[in-house]
Structures are given as C-alpha cells and as structure tokens.
Structure 1
C-alpha cells in the first residue's frame, strides 16, 4: 500500500489515471471545449437535424425543431430586454420546454438560475432578489406562487403548459398535465405566444469564463447561496461524461432525475445534447409506465436512484426484455440493495456505476469506471480533475486509507459563491499550486484510488437525492410562536435513505396545546415539501455540547440507533 507523498508533492491517486483500474484507453486529461454551452446544441442540430432529440409522452422532437424553438425564445427574451449576463429563473418539472428554456437563456447570452418546483413564494422571492433575476420561465402549476411576484420580483414571466408538447392521444399523462388551461393573466406570457413571434436570435457572445448557470446550494448556516459556474466548466462536464460513458448520437438516455438539479441537468440533458443523443423525458416519476416506455424507446443509458430501479423491477408489466437495451446504469444518493445488484449483473450484465459531485462542481467530479465499479463508492476523479483526502484542521494530505476531508480541484469547480466573498474564501483554498474546493465530506481512498464517503462534516440531510440543510429548516421553525428551541436532524428512512426529523422544545405555556401535526402543518406553509419534517419529537430541553451549543450529533446518533 502506497502511503507517502511523491517527491513532486502529489499524493498517490490524486488523479484517477494513477489507479490500476483507470480505463486503459483513456488519457488523464481531455481538451477543454471552450465557448458557450449552447454551442453543443447548435453543433448537434447541424450534424443531426432530423434525428430525435426528445421523446415525451408519445411525441418526438428532432434536433432541428429543438434548435428552432431555442433560437426563437432567445430572440424573444432579448426583445423583452434581456441583456448579456442577465439571470433568468427556470422553475419547471422535467419536460421538453425545460430543455428549450435552458438553452434559450444561454443562447440569449443570459445566465440560468434553476430552482426547485417545490419552492414556496417566499423562497422564490429570495432567489429572485439574491440572483437579481427579473425574468422567469415557469410551469402552469406554479402560477399561484408566482402571481404575488409579478412586477415586484419579476418583470417578465413565461409560463408553459406541459401538455402542449405531449402527443394528443397520450394516455399515461400525470395529473399535473391534465390541468385545465390557465386563463390569460397580466404579467404572464405563454411560451407558445413567445415562440410565435419568431424573433431572430442574437449573436452568441457569452462563453468560456462568463457565467452560464447559478444553481443554489447551502452550507450549514444561513440562506441558500448560488454557485457561479462558467460555460467552460459546464461544457467540460458534459464532454467528460460523454466520453466516460461512451455516449454518441445513437445513444438513448433517460431524463427522469430532476433537471433543476445539477445531476439531472448535466449527466442527462447536457451530455445528451453534447453528443446528439435522444432524451426520454418524464414530468412525474411513475414506475408503472416504465416497462412500456423502455420497450418502445430502447434506452441505452439510465441514471436512476436505487429506489427507482427497485420500483421498476416490481412494476406491473415488467419483463426481462425491458432492460435488454441498457448498456450503462448509473446514479447515486443511496445504496443499491445487494439482491438487486446481483440480479442486474446476472440477468442483464449490468453493473450499477455510482458517481459523485456537488452543486459546487456542477455535477461529476468522480465516476466509477463502467467496467469496474465498486459498490457504495464515489469512483475515481475524472479527466482533468484532482482529488485528495486531507486533515480538516491542517489540510495536510492524509495517508492512504485514513479518514479526512475530500478536496477537489478541476475545471468543473465553481468560480465562487454569488455575492458571498467570505463563503467563497472558506470554500475555495490554494494548496500545492492549485485551487481546491473543500467539500465538507469525510472520506478515504482505497488501494486502487477509489474514493469513499463515510460521514459528513456538514450537517446536510440527503432525502431521495434532495439536499436539505437543517439550519435553514430550524430558522423557519423558529418563526412558530410556540417554538422555544429546535434541532433538525436526519433519521433513517428505508425508501428515501434519510428523512427530516425535528426535535422541539415548546414554550412552557404552549406545552400540551401544540401537537406534532401542528408543527408539521406549519412547516408545510414555510418551506418546500421535501424539507418538511416527517417526524417531530417534543422534549423539555435539548442536549448541549461542552461549548453550550445544541448537540445535534447526539440527537442524530440517538435517532439512528433507535431506528436500527
């Protein structure tokens, strides 16, 4: 086992190509693509105009049609006053209109601000004010949440109707696509109306180090903060994943993971557009329609949470031929059950290849080789990317196999946090002649150079892939007049991996008057649904650490032990 520093200061296995299991045909670095991320769409539409870009509830859209609508929307946005570098909020479920909106904003030299459709009006107002976005593109189910923000937070809002791009005879539409058409309302413009104006797209000016995407992340304290990602970094991630997964214009890829999240945005959408592959889009996850969908479109690449795979295997109508076209199955966020791992391998020759990335790295920094994946493993640092495990206090590299904080350096690492210089200084450090991101994740490297996580230095809760920061939830719970103290922690969940649990101390005069369900109902009015506590426990007092801070670690350990 190699455990010492190399003479040039590079720690063993700092780069993936040092691993004996690195794909032998791959270089350690690939050429940076440069330019605007929208150039990928222009290139694919030029090379494969008639080829399918998207499949959506019985409808098929070609690359030529996709580029046409992207350029028309880009032209409309500019005509409405969007200038180079202006931010645009996109708040949509997965749908073809999301792809159109995303690339149209980039094509108009703007910056995409992707947000979760579960966000409340107050959360949306915060994102608008913090990012400075005055434009938004939203789904029809969100009109009530955005109505109070018209003319206050946003000057222009484009609304889309999901069913507009589905086949007229589609029978498996989710409820959100069966809504009655919304009535015209002041401050909102229908996407169809904007496209019908057929405005010409502007010159493509933004690229390289210009901002492309501002996704929101959070630390352990305070409000969410936006990660500044350039065109160069985002386009690199798309190109890297195309090469790693051996994707091309004949690939058919799923787009079931949320596109507002960097994993769905880059691993499926941006990678597919980069190489001219076809995307299968689904607005609401429904395992029961997957067997017929897979037989029809024959996907070759599927990014899935383990619970998705389990659900599909148990779905009515599932037969072995449903997976016969798959070449790659990837994902993460939770452990795949061992019995499912064996069935995938023995029946279809599939090996679930997990990956790792953060909002701060706009998706992948580590991926498992598709021919040599390890379970519950981040994988190897990908092309052009360095990673090491360091002592959280001294930042000295840890010996191989020892626990420490995972640090990452590469072109996909953010430029910093938007308007947060202090947070940027804490997250990005200079070491060994490189700039590194402190991930806050505790892990180690094995003898083959594969990285593993064993714990979090941050308090993040991961529920079905949604990242939840307890301090934000606690801040909102404190606005309840009966809450004297609270601690938000994780508890194990057999389906979601983790669930949100709130331990609450009530004011003495409120004890016996407020129930657990009262707190949960209140939380639903204050925060997105995935952040709402699933469990509430009342206590007379919270445990304290030696420094008199609330000992959330003790509460969390107790919750996990109790469920175990």
Structure 2
C-alpha cells in the first residue's frame, strides 16, 4: 500500500516570485493541482492519483537532494514499466536533474558504455538489475548513488527509504533545461538526445493539444483548464517506458490529466493485454507497429466476443508503421476506434499522420516545420531526400559534437533536425515517408526501402513477420533478401509463390531474391527491427 504524503495548496506554487513556465515539472504540478483526485497511474495491482504521484515525487526529490544529487546531475532509469519509473523521472526534473532512459536488455559492456557516456550520477533500478549495477560501480567515477526500486539487495539504497515527506518546495528550474533520451543504437552506439523542456513539451508531448480541438496551449497556465475540463481518458502504454514512443505517450497523457495504464509483464501476452484493456476500460492504446499489433489482432480473431472493447477510442502506433492490411483488420475488429500512425524519431519528436483510409502510406504536410533535404538545400517535388524537422527540436547529442553538427543544422536561418528517415514531397504538398535511409538497398541503381517490401510480405496470408535487407551481389551491387516467420496453422509457401505475390504489388526489382525462414523475427522490446541480426541470418543460410 502506498503512503499518502502531506498536501500543500496550489498557492504555494509561485512562492519566491517563481513563475510557471514550459518546464515539465511546473506543468505537471499545475495539472496535479487541477485534478488532484483523478487517477494518474493505474497499475495491475495499485494506482496513484495525481496528488499522490506529485507528493511521492516531491518526497523522492528531497531524498535525492539529501544524498547529494543536485541540479544538472544525470539520473538513469533502469527499470521495467512501473509507477516508480515515472515518479523518479518527475523527482529528477523537479530538482533540475536530468533523467535518462536505460535499456534493460543491455548486457554489461553496453550498460557500461551508456552509463559512462551519460555521466551517470544516480541510477534507479529494479531489484533484478542489482548485480550489473554493483559490478559496474567501480568503473563509473561520477556515480554518487544507486537506488533499488523494490528491495535491499546489493549496495543500492532502498527506494522507499529515500522518501522524505515535507512541505512543498520550489527549486531552480528553466524551460531550457534538458532531458536525455538515448536512441536505440540502430545505426551505431546509442546517442543521448538533449531535449529542452519546452521543446519536449511541444515536440514530443503534443503541447497538451492532442485531445483538444484547439490544439496546443499558448501559455503555461492554460494547461490547468485543459486538464480540468478534459475527459478522464485512460492511455494504455504497452511498450517499455525506456523507449521514446512510450515515454512520450506517458507524458502526453499526464500533461493532459489522463490516466496512464501500465503493465509490468515480462512476456508480451496479447490475451493478457486485452484482459487489462477490458478490465480497466482503457480508451487509448499505444503500441509500436506491426510487431505488437499483429499478435493483438490475432488474439481478437482467435477469441471473438471474449472482451468488451467499446471503451477503445484510438489504437495508435509510434516508432514504427502499421502495414495497410493490419490497419484495415484493426478497423474491422475495433469499429469504435480510430487507427492512427505516428512518425517520429528520438531527434525529431512525433508527427501524427494518417488512418487506414489513406492507403497505408505515411503522409504528413510539408510546411515550415517539416521539409525534405538533399544536402543543405530543400528538395524539389518528387525528389527523394532526408526528412528534417524545425521548430521544437533538440539542441544536440550529449558528449558527441561531431554527430551533433551532422544532424542538427542551421539552414536559411532556422534550426533543423535532419535524421536518416527518407521521403519525398508529392503533388499534393505532402511528405511521403519511405523508410530509414541507412537501410536503403541499392540494386542496379534502384533504391529499395525495406519497410515497403516488409509491409507487403506481412500482407501474405502465411507470413507473420518479416525483415528485409540488402546482400552483396556481383552483378547488381546488392539484391533483396528477406527473413520471414510463419503464421500459425499455415504451411510454408514456395519462394516462387512469395515472389509472385510481391510482383503483383510492387515493382519486380523490389522482389526478394532470397527467402530465409526463422521461428521468430528478432526485434527490440519496443518492436524495433534488428537488421544486423537479419543480415546474419541471410549470410548464414
């Protein structure tokens, strides 16, 4: 049972002349004052109201200060999905510290690189990760404190023992303070993206406008009425909070006065997830692409009528795209829900995009905040280039000036974040997303984006999942190869049958020349593809 801490009044917020600003802690505290008794977090066994979440994070903030964690220190969050993840995140930013995500699937060498690169001063971790934290301590000269969220093992301090109740305090903060979001390392070692609070609020959390017809707020104090007047919807964040898409959706919900539904399950169990949706009457379901959506869809097909899902208003993806046929299936299975794709990257934040009726191609407006670049110039219509975003963007990569200069550029007097995502502008003035440029296959001079071929492979009735890579070819430079997994209760189709299926849907040169079968397709915990693994499978076949 969680403790309830002494509550202060909202008039204490601006003591000492401190003004509410676009700082995530300021904004959250304003929301907590507006809807104190509304559920903020709903876990499988326990829940927290906004008042309780605010008070507990205040108590932890005092505990961190007492242990020597100060403004500017970096605090690693090495946990699965749990309330303490969001409490610790909030406690850190309340005192001006900098939270950063830790991939709990990393091994010792990967963890060491991450903690050293981040200059970790504090690590808050689950009990199951005590051993690696203890082993790495001696190699982390800036580490002041390790906190165990659910035990007393090892050298870490028990989380609950750090909670110090007391009167509300305001600490030095600025909306230009930054938070760190480490990338997944799909194109090299993980990089810490430095998001200023104001840019994060608008670029990643929607500016409190995703659930309001008027769009993002214009002034910090407007968030109070938005939260108070908005419906108490429930956002089920299924992906791990250690990934950008998940933590963004969580903060989008918390800064709109919604409830974040969390699940701590280690294994991805589609039936159990629908059980939670039904039991807790979740309204907004957030996943990462087909890797999560297909098993959830199949569970609905296998158990018709088992769940009452009339509460579901939206089923959305961030970080990976739904295939068109998956969107169509979800629309049929969830008739009350809108199906939405979101495009984004750790360096650019999110862009809400299309529903299934747009044919599955991810399209967003080309305007002063989103453009296509070829080198340092704007691309012509139809010309393939890299997608850039301006406006509310990060300031760079932590401890990596070379990559910062490469990705974050000033063009025509505006700051742009230009990542590896490729696309083009069509005749309607819309940006069409093609895929990750670094994974692009060049076969005889033709550019082939794996995501496009993968979408069509997953549309085959016998194929559950697929990854597409380029392998060296003496004649063509590269040729297309695919690693695929079989859907239950189906026989493996012949390679020629798969090729015929693809040729009816795409240009012939995009057809996989090599098909390798695997029991499962290897992805990250958030559903991100492991292309290095896929290439190894093809080369070993």
Q: TM > 0.5 between the two?
A: yes
Cross-structure match for 2:73: 86
CA drift at 1:213: 2.6
Q: Which of 437, 458, 461 is matched with 1:457 structurally?
A: 437
CA drift at 1:307: 3.3
- Evaluate the alpha carbon distance shift between residue 340 and residue 210 of structure 1 in structure 2; reply closer, same or farther with a 3 A threshold: closer
Cross-structure match for 1:184: 153
Alpha-carbon distance in structure 1 between the residues aligned to 2:434 and 2:318: 14
DSSP 3-state at the match of 1:313 = helix
Q: Which of 265, 283, 289 is matched with 2:272 structurally?
A: 289
Alpha-carbon distance in structure 1 between the residues aligned to 2:330 and 2:183: 35
Alpha-carbon distance in structure 2 between the residues aligned to 1:280 and 1:317: 23
CA drift at 1:294: 1.5
**Which structure 2 residues correspond to residues 87-236 of structure 1 after superposition, within 5 A?**
87-153=74-140, 154-161=143-150, 184-185=153-154, 187-195=155-163, 197-198=164-165, 202-216=169-183, 218=185, 220-221=187-188, 223-236=189-202
- Evaluate the alpha carbon distance shift between residue 317 and residue 402 of structure 1 in structure 2; reply closer, same or farther with a 3 A threshold: same
Q: Taking CA–CA contacts closer than 8 Å with sequence separation of 6 or more, which of the two structures ends up with the larger relative contact order? A: 1
Cross-structure match for 1:442: 422
Alpha-carbon distance in structure 2 between the residues aligned to 1:454 and 1:36: 34
Cross-structure match for 1:77: 64
DSSP 3-state at the match of 2:370 = strand
Contact preservation (8 Å) 1:57, 1:282: yes
Alpha-carbon distance in structure 2 between the residues aligned to 1:337 and 1:407: 23
**Which structure 2 residues correspond to residues 386-397 of structure 1 after superposition, within 5 A?**
386-392=369-375, 395-397=376-378
CA drift at 1:273: 1.0
DSSP 3-state at the match of 2:347 = helix
DSSP 3-state at the match of 1:360 = coil
Cross-structure match for 1:264: 246
TM-score (norm 2): 0.70
Q: Which of 213, 233, 243 is matched with 1:251 structurally?
A: 233
DSSP 3-state at the match of 1:88 = strand
CA drift at 1:345: 2.9
The answer on 1:379 being equivalent to 2:364 is yes
CA drift at 1:83: 1.1
CA drift at 1:244: 2.9
Q: Tell me the alpha carbon deviations over residues 211-238 of structure 1, each in whole angstroms, 9 at most, x when there is no partner.
A: 22342464845x3321111111112235
Alpha-carbon distance in structure 1 between the residues aligned to 2:277 and 2:304: 10
DSSP 3-state at the match of 2:41 = strand
Alpha-carbon distance in structure 2 between the residues aligned to 1:386 and 1:538: 40
Q: Which runs of 5+ in 1 are unaligned?
A: 1-32, 162-181, 471-486, 497-527, 540-558
Contact preservation (8 Å) 1:330, 1:352: yes
TM-score (norm 1): 0.68
Aligned-residue CA RMSD (Å)? 3.5
DSSP 3-state at the match of 1:83 = coil
CA drift at 1:443: 0.7
Alpha-carbon distance in structure 1 between the residues aligned to 2:427 and 2:73: 47
Cross-structure match for 2:298: 314
DSSP 3-state at the match of 2:75 = strand
The answer on 1:341 being equivalent to 2:321 is no
Alpha-carbon distance in structure 2 between the residues aligned to 1:209 and 1:360: 16
Q: Which of 376, 380, 383 is matched with 1:399 structurally?
A: 380
CA drift at 1:319: 2.7
Q: Tell me the alpha carbon deviations over residues 7-64 of structure 1, each in whole angstroms, 9 at most, x when there is no partner.
A: xxxxxxxxxxxxxxxxxxxxxxxxxx94321123212211111111111113222111
CA drift at 1:349: 4.5
CA drift at 1:339: 4.2
Contact preservation (8 Å) 2:290, 2:326: no
CA drift at 1:146: 1.1
Contact preservation (8 Å) 2:327, 2:356: no
Alpha-carbon distance in structure 1 between the residues aligned to 2:33 and 2:242: 27
Cross-structure match for 2:51: 64
Alpha-carbon distance in structure 2 between the residues aligned to 1:35 and 1:335: 30
Q: Which runs of 5+ in 2 are unaligned?
A: 1-19, 213-226, 441-449, 456-466, 470-477, 488-527
